Amino acid sequence: MEIQEEFEKTGNWLFRWRSYLPLALIPLFLLAMEKYHYLNNSEASDNLWELICLFISFLGLGIRVWTVGHTPPRTSGRNTRAQIADTLNTTGIYSIVRHPLYLGNFLMIAGIVMFTRHLWLMLIYILLFALYYERIIFAEEAFLKRKFGQDFIDWANKTPAFIPKFKNYCPPANKFNWKKALKAEYNGFAALLLSMFALEVYGDWLIQHKIDLDLHWIVLSGIGILTWITVRFLKKYTRVLDITKR
């Protein structure tokens, strides 16, 4: 098997299981949190750092929401079994970066990794992300090149793979579909808030040897849980989030 075929085969396999990459970091998180302490030995400074981390993660989530909300059916999304692309997305965020969903993933997890304040963990995360998504991107672009030919080549030649080139921006061809974005990203929203809440509780327990629930984290995690329950109910028992109607 040629190396290109091996890369594509591996990339398609990793594509199916890409949602589970964060689970591989759990043992490293536990190791990094072993000697957790407040930033500058100040709970106020620690809370400020947590807000910065939360902002970075929400920036990543916002990129995903913007991307999914503007794309047409059967293109970008959370499909896992195979590559899907009925059309080639080249407008909106896809005019400045070829893989905005993966950029969003990177920032979402990066904010959580930064929570531990360990440079070595961040470097390991960047390395794992690069190795993991390199094959996925190779497989995805091989698929798009076969399907769209010169249109893909022309777009790829002027659009960076991962670092946005903002001067290339052109407005999205499709209106924002909030239903599609909500249905696709509510799990990520809840998981993000609950992950940070768990790290906050665990960190306070390591320092104080007791469960110390900060009000702002109780509120944020409550919003995450309530959002998840509400969207889950609407998806299962109503047609409020029917994405066939914009």
Taking residues 31-43, report their average pLDDT: 81
pLDDT band, very low/low/confident/very high, at 244 (cuts 50, 70, 90): low
pLDDT band, very low/low/confident/very high, at 59 (cuts 50, 70, 90): very high
Q: In this model, does residue 182 exceed pLDDT 60?
A: yes
pLDDT, position 27: 85
Q: Among 32-36, 161-165, 197-201, 222-226, where is mean pLDDT lowest?
A: 32-36
Q: Among 96-100, 133-137, 169-173, 220-224, where is mean pLDDT lowest?
A: 133-137
Residue 17 or 43, more confident:
43
Contacts with 121 (C-beta within 8 Å, 6 or more apart), sequence order: 28, 29, 32, 113
**Judging by beta carbons within 10 Å of its beta carbon (0-12, 13-18, 19+), is residue 225 exposed, middle or buried?**
middle
Residue 36 or 15, more confident:
36
Taking residues 45-61, report their average pLDDT: 93
Give residue limits of the domains in the chain: 3-175
The span from the CA of 149 to the CA of 139, in Å, is: 15
The span from the CA of 127 to the CA of 119, in Å, is: 12
Q: Tell me the β-bridge partners of 230.
A: none
Q: Among 1-10, 105-114, 160-169, 236-245, where is mean pLDDT lowest?
A: 1-10
pLDDT, position 178: 93
pLDDT, position 193: 95
Using an 8 Å Cβ cutoff, are 172 and 91 in contact?
Answer: yes
Residue 80 or 73, more confident:
73
pLDDT, position 53: 95
Q: In this model, does residue 125 exceed pLDDT 80?
A: yes
pLDDT band, very low/low/confident/very high, at 26 (cuts 50, 70, 90): confident
pLDDT, position 203: 85
Q: In this model, does residue 216 exceed pLDDT 80?
A: yes
Nearest-CA neighbor of 106 among 40, 150, 161, 45? 161
Residue 79 or 145, more confident:
145
Q: In this model, does residue 246 exceed pLDDT 50?
A: no
- Which one of 3.30.40.230, 3.20.20.20, 3.40.50.300, 1.20.120.1630 gives the CATH number of domain 3-175? 1.20.120.1630
pLDDT, position 142: 87
Per residue in 135-152, pLDDT (tens digit) is: 888 888 888 988 899 999
